[in-house]
Structure 1
């Protein structure tokens, strides 16, 4: 028995949708050189915050826990305020950067939303920092090449 024309059309549509989805997944993991440039630019805006946190650690042997810990050290044009367990750093250009300590207080994360679910993240642990782009879709974060 031959399938009806309507059934063939529905099956063809399903195949097209599946192929389009596969193509989008493959494209999402392709060349990200333009993205890398955009991520580097966003990361550069966090340089004063990273420098502030690292300077605090050098001087006090610990990372700041509260915005008040940084009183008198925050550079002009930067505002730090507590939001629960986070420190929100406002650079004057939204969105703000969010700073959090890791569980044992020896490392930190600085993140900034780039879209609805996407964010740029600086993670520092044991004196080693790294930048990543989190696509927010369940895929692994992508390393950001700060010095191309």
Structure 2
């Protein structure tokens, strides 16, 4: 059996850097789109607020994952799994439902969703290994 805890931390660490890049690029693209394209009145504000919300949830999610893995606390890892849902929905919004979806948006969101999928699977393996070590 492989050591899921090490791989989980590596993927979380990489995602923490990638999400920073993702958020900055999405912000820059929102500003650029609002200047170059005709936006309905409240859409740009709601998309920027969603990005702010997504950044907060993602920061909390990564901290919960790191803490849960390092302290070997299943509660933190379960909360990490729960926080994955709103993060995934936020990225899916930018992939499918935002006012203007560019190809770069699709690429950035696909990479972010890949990180979410890997982290979700690895967190389930870590939770299972923690339960196995208790019994």
Using the size of structure 2 for normalisation, the TM-score is 0.31
> Of the two structures, which has the highest relative contact order with CA contacts closer than 8 Å and spacing of 6 or more?
2
